[in-house]
Structure 1
């Protein structure tokens, strides 16, 4: 029954958005001492660039945003940001508000989904471990870390992109290079499979009046990561209200939940605080 509900709500996910947030830039970014192969490389391209990469014989595109003041001698967090169903990479960049939150302190990747139905405009993600979109993550991760100085990797997504983020953590979670260290899922759900990755820090944001993806999908994601991180059931309030953090999680792990009352997009929109809250968790993830 749980799998059937999972399939049903994924089919309903869309890329609807509220207005982009006015998130303040926070320069207190965590820097890894050890970086990727791209550290020290000359001639790196900065700014927003759409790239094409071949994955499994198929041309895939993604939008890469590198700080204008990029310095190849320091490591940067790498953030994957996944759009909702029928969405686009450019659309996600427009309304997620990630750039306003991270400033010049992270490299952000906005993957472009392929159609998941007979309708070419019905873009989305394949959530299985051997699927094309986990492979896309692997390929882009390798390409970016080979050319840029990258430390830690994080993932966030909205709606169907939230499902993709949870699936990615399920199969690629961990602290080793190339693994996802922490995630933020907004109005999503899942994972809908047995996880093979290590536990991750997680921020789950879900509208209590969401009429597209039921609130129970968000609480289900929360409970998955809370259990994986061996957290307790008691919580402490965190900023912004009404977000909470769970007590007693395993060392180095943090699970947070925000059940909010914003009503944009029938409760399914992008909350005004989402990008800032996600960036705060990413910075605090050791």
Structure 2
């Protein structure tokens, strides 16, 4: 009997961490405005971000968090409006969305003059600490997505042993994967905290900004950042994640690849869309697709990303997708604590009509901010 009671007690204590996934911000009162622009201090530098809270935010409900990283020469509000992640039909009703701003509009690239990688990673850690301390967060469900230079930075987070361990899954789109994950001596600079790291990625076969087949260090005599072929980048993660059994399904111009990684079905997914450019994939018009001029995409990245994220948590390995394609082959396809932030209201609305109006206003504000800043949208 004593041994049985001891076993039950130990089992109960071991189970407590599973119940205690909520962050320190659970139960704290916060303003109910849906969208707010904040500034925090990180590495002795002011850093900005846009925060979206779900309508009817409940201080005692644990919410997942998605970080969205904009492209080079842009700002967080642009990424929000372009992706529409904050809309009720996507993540807006049940997810805390965080849209950080890069210093001078660009995330760490490794080039001279770029923000040091360590400084940007510390900012992400400081920002996540602030979100956890202020709002009710499910610590097991924190994710990152981004486009272009922001997609490349998402890759850097996934490669980080320290900051990366706070995130359950990653979703880069049109990623500029600069640095090739190796230093000048050929040593790997990508050291993920676990295997596998769940990743879903997207890239256009007609992307002229970050070409699918990679690019050199100059364009018409102008120095630019070299990027590897996407197949090379994918193969790197296939190797790190111990992936096998690649499957490919093709539907028109869409090629969908999945891998079984460390025994987890579809822990890696990749979408190549032949005629798609340097855009956020959506079946509805958005900023990046309008700017690119090739029309809407045949896939909806928001839905695919949210479905992928739902399968993974920080301290679990994931679950099977249930219906893997039939063909198989291996390989790739041919912080510190922040100061209390200052804030300004950037929109809101408690109903669908209000949210649509806020999105229109936000779109105008995004364009105005980028134009006034002298940035060119979504470039590397």
TM-score, reference length from structure 1: 0.77
Q: SS in structure 2 opposite 1:72?
A: coil
Distance in 1 (CA, whole Å) between partners of 2:164 and 2:101 is 25
Matched, 1:225 2:237: yes
Runs of 4 or more above 6 Å deviation: none
Matched, 1:171 2:136: no
Match for residue 305 of structure 2?
278
Say which of 31, 35, 38 aligns to 2:25: 38
Distance in 2 (CA, whole Å) between partners of 1:191 and 1:202 is 17
The 10-residue stretch of structure 1 (130-139 or 49-58) with the greater mean CA deviation from structure 2? 130-139
Matched, 1:206 2:233: no
Matched, 1:246 2:259: yes
Matched, 1:102 2:91: yes
Unaligned runs of 5+ in 2: 1-17, 111-115, 182-188, 214-228, 283-299, 314-380
| Distance apart, 1:239 and its partner CA | 9.9
Distance in 2 (CA, whole Å) between partners of 1:189 and 1:255 is 18
| Distance apart, 1:236 and its partner CA | 5.5
Contact 2:260 2:266 in 1 (8 A): no
Determine which structure has more spread, i.e. the larger CA radius of gyration. 2
Distance in 2 (CA, whole Å) between partners of 1:231 and 1:282 is 19
| Distance apart, 1:71 and its partner CA | 1.5
Contact 1:73 1:149 in 2 (8 A): yes
| Structure-2 change in CA distance of 1:175 and 1:138 (3 Å) | closer
| Distance apart, 1:268 and its partner CA | 0.8
The 10-residue stretch of structure 1 (98-107 or 78-87) with the greater mean CA deviation from structure 2? 98-107
Distance in 1 (CA, whole Å) between partners of 2:262 and 2:92 is 30
| Distance apart, 1:77 and its partner CA | 1.1
Matched, 1:197 2:192: yes
Contact 2:248 2:255 in 1 (8 A): no
1:111-190 to 2 correspondences below 5 Å: 111-115=100-104, 123-127=105-109, 130-151=117-138, 152-172=141-161, 179-190=166-177
The one-character-per-residue Cα deviations of 1:157-206 (angstroms, maximum 9, x if unpaired) are 00001101000111157885xx1110001000436332233241001100
| Structure-2 change in CA distance of 1:140 and 1:79 (3 Å) | same
The 10-residue stretch of structure 1 (194-203 or 215-224) with the greater mean CA deviation from structure 2? 215-224
| Structure-2 change in CA distance of 1:284 and 1:236 (3 Å) | farther
| Distance apart, 1:209 and its partner CA | 1.3
Q: SS in structure 2 opposite 1:61?
A: strand
Contact 1:134 1:168 in 2 (8 A): yes
Distance in 2 (CA, whole Å) between partners of 1:223 and 1:78 is 28
| Distance apart, 1:245 and its partner CA | 1.8
